[in-house]
Amino acid sequence: MANSAGDARGSELDVRKQMLEDRAVDVMISVGPNFFYTVTLPCTLWFLDRGKKATKRKDQVLFIDARHIFRQIDRAHREFTPEQVEFVANIVRLYRGEEVETVAQSSALMKERFPKGKYVDVLGLCRVAGLGDIEAQGWSLNPGRYVGVAERAADDFEFAVRLEELNEELETLNVEARELEQRIAENVAALLDQELVTCTVK
């Protein structure tokens, strides 16, 4: 789904709230831009599980920010390596209390982020949020609202990377602005049509 679906208001907010109250939302994963050949915008992967009502996770959602996990193919295209896919999947496995897999050589990444082999919230990467936390955020399902931002050493800062991050945010905001503009235009047109009908009837 487009990132805007996780924060949109109106009827989309009502749908998200209902899904959360039904305990259907299990995992949300943010993916950066340029992963698709026809669409450059970032997106969010929604993982639904109605069966989680019967588990300890029923009142929780796992948020993962994978926007900084990728392999650059060329200037305009990115992909996940098998190791990275396995790493992200292993975060979910730890959260669910399942055994991790290391067939694609994700052991080093797992040891670096989860040295005890147990799930923990990792700043800038993942966080488990309860329904109360999500309600306080306006029923948003945007992982960026929950995982926070990891600190970087000063010498680790790259202008091009930061500029790209800001551009991603700008693209997302522009999409949301266009959707809002369209919605306003439709509402104004509906009001004008209604007023015209009322005047005609009189």
CATH number of the domain that residue 130 is part of:
3.40.50.150
| pLDDT reported for residue 155 | 47
On whether both 131 and 40 belong to a single domain, the answer is yes
For the segment 111-119, the average pLDDT, to the nearest whole number, is 93
| pLDDT reported for residue 105 | 93
On whether both 124 and 80 belong to a single domain, the answer is yes
- Residue with the two structure tokens 């306006």: 138
On whether both 134 and 192 belong to a single domain, the answer is no
Rg (CA), the chain: 20
On whether both 119 and 191 belong to a single domain, the answer is no
| pLDDT reported for residue 151 | 64
Q: How many other CB atoms are found less than 10 A from the CB of residue 121?
A: 14
On whether both 133 and 190 belong to a single domain, the answer is no
Q: What is the pLDDT of residues 153-196, one digit of tens each?
A: 554 456 666 677 777 778 777 877 888 888 898 888 888 888 77
On whether both 141 and 91 belong to a single domain, the answer is yes
On whether both 112 and 161 belong to a single domain, the answer is no
Beta-bridge partner residues of 126: 64, 122
| pLDDT reported for residue 26 | 96
Q: How many other CB atoms are found less than 10 A from the CB of residue 78?
A: 17
Which tokens is 44 given?
Answer: 């969010």
Pair 145, 129: CB distance under 8 Å: no
Domain with 185, as residue range(s), is 154-202
Which tokens is 83 given?
Answer: 């190791």
Domain boundary among 151, 168, 187: 151
On whether both 106 and 164 belong to a single domain, the answer is no
Counted domains in the chain: 2
- Measure the CA–CA gap between 44 and 6, rounded to whole angstroms: 8
Which tokens is 172 given?
Answer: 């997302």
Strands (E), 49-167: 60-65, 71-74, 77-79, 126-130
| 9 pLDDT tier (thresholds 50, 70, 90) | confident
On whether both 60 and 102 belong to a single domain, the answer is yes
Q: What is the pLDDT of residues 91-112, one digit of tens each?
A: 999 999 999 999 999 999 999 9
On whether both 120 and 142 belong to a single domain, the answer is yes
Q: Report the helix count and the strand count for the chain, using DSSP H and E.
A: 6, 6
On whether both 60 and 39 belong to a single domain, the answer is yes
On whether both 41 and 117 belong to a single domain, the answer is yes
Beta-bridge partner residues of 127: 63
Identify the sign of the CA torsion 74, 75, 77, 79: positive
